[in-house]
Amino acid sequence: MAIYIEIYGKQLVQLFNELEVATKSFELIWILVYTLILVTGVTIGVSVIVWLERKVSAGVQQRVGPEYAGPLGIIQSLADGIKLLLKEDVIPSKSDTWLFTAGPAIVVIPVLISYLVIPFNQGIVLSDLAIGVFFWVAVSSVTPLGLLIAGYSSNNKYSFLGGLRAAAQSISYEIPLALCISSASLLSGSLSTVDIVETQSKYGFMGWNLWRQPIGFIAFFISSLAECERLPFDLPEAEEELVAGYQTEYSGIKFGLSYVGSHSNLSASSLFVTILYLGGWDSSIPFLDNLGQDSYLSEYSSKSFHVLMSGLGIITTLAKCYLFIFISILTRWTLPRVRIDQLLDLGWKFLLPIASGNLLPTASFQLLLLS
C-alpha cells in the first residue's frame, strides 16, 4: 500500500510540474502578444503623426499636402515606410559597423519600453509600476547614448558634431523634465502613473494638475519639445549648419528608425503630459460619471458596460494626446529655430531654476498638509 501511495505521489508531483511549465509557457505567449500589440499600436501612431504633421503644415502654409496615396493621403506614411525598407542599406567605409547598426536600435528600443507604464485606462496598462514616471525618465535617458553612438560610428565629423549636440540637448532638458515630474508626483503622493490619474479624477476637471501646476506644465511642455528635438529645438539637424546631423550617413530602414524614434518619443511625451497634467482618461463629464448609476442602463450586463467605459477612456486619452501633438506641430511651423547657445541657456539658466522654484513650494505645501 505504501508503494502505491509513493507512486501516486510522484505522478501527482510530475503532473503539477507539467502544469507549472504549461502555465509559464502560456504567460510567455501572452507577454509576446501584448508586446506585439504595443509595437503595432506605436507604429500606427507614428504613421498617424507623420500624416497629421504633413496635413497641418500644409494648412499653415496654405498648401494641399498629400492627397493621392489613399483618401486624403492617409497611406502616404505607409508608402514612405515601404520605400525606406526597399532602399539600399549603405554603410560608410572605415566606420564601426556594429555601432553604426546598433545606434538607431538604441534610439528606438528605450522609447518603446517607456510605453509599458502608460495607462490608457484604469485597467489598460502593461505594467503599473510604483515608480512609473521615473521609469520613463530612466529609460529615456538611454536615448542620448544611441544618438551619440550613431554620430560617432558614422566616420563623419558633421555626424559626430550632430551626435554631440543631440546628447547635450537631451541631457540638459532631462533635469527640468524630472523636476516637473517630481512636482506633479508630490501632489498625487505617488510615482505610479495610474495613481496620478486617479488622484486628479477625484476632483473632476478642476482637479487636473494643469490648474494646480501651470508653471510646471509650461516647463514640461518646453522640455518635452527639446527632448524630442522638435522645432524650434531641432539643433542636431540644423540644415544650414550640420547637414542632417547624426543621421547624415544613414539610409534605408536605419534612416527611417531615427524618425520612428523621434515621432514615437513625441507620442510618449504627449501621453505623459496627458497623464501628469490633463487627467489621463478622466473626461470629467457629469453625464458619463453618472452613467453607471442610471436605472435604464442597469439592465445591460456589467461586462458590456465595462467594455464601453474602457473604450471611452482610451478615446479620451488619445484625444488629449493628439491635442498636444497638434499644438507641437503648430509650434514647429510658428516659431523660428534658436541657436545652440540659446538652447542651452534656456535649459540651464531659465527652465532649471523655474522647475526647481516650482518644486520647492509644492514640497513645502505637501509637508504643511501632512503636518
Residue 293 lies in a domain: no
Residue 71 lies in a domain: yes
Residue 154 lies in a domain: yes
Please check the confidence at residue 172 and state whether its pLDDT lies above 70: yes
Residue 271 lies in a domain: yes
Q: State whether residue 189 is helix, strand or coil.
A: coil
Sign of the CA dihedral running 355, 270, 118, 305: positive
- Angle of the 76-86 helix axis to the 252-277 helix axis, nearest 10: 140
Region 273-279: mean pLDDT is 90
Q: What's the total number of domains in the chain?
A: 1
Cβ contact 126:113 at 8 Å: no
Please check the confidence at residue 144 and state whether its pLDDT lies above 50: yes
Domain range holding 325?
1-288+303-366
Please check the confidence at residue 147 and state whether its pLDDT lies above 60: yes
Please check the confidence at residue 273 and state whether its pLDDT lies above 70: yes
Give the helix ranges, DSSP H, for 115-213. 132-140, 143-152, 157-188, 193-201, 209-212
CA separation for the pair 355, 174 (Å, rounded): 11
Place of cell 505522478: 11
Q: Which three cell numbers stand for residue 130?
A: 510604483
Residue 209 lies in a domain: yes
Please check the confidence at residue 296 and state whether its pLDDT lies above 80: no
Q: Please give the pLDDT value at position 250.
A: 87
Residue 297 lies in a domain: no
Residue 296 lies in a domain: no
CA separation for the pair 328, 324 (Å, rounded): 6
CA separation for the pair 292, 305 (Å, rounded): 8
Q: Please give the pLDDT value at position 295.
A: 43
Q: Residue 230 — very low, low, confident or very high, per pLDDT cuts 50/70/90?
A: confident
Q: Please give the pLDDT value at position 180.
A: 92
Mean pLDDT of the chain: 82
Please give the model's pTM, rounded to 2 decimal places.
Answer: 0.85
Q: Please give the pLDDT value at position 272.
A: 92
Residue 294 lies in a domain: no
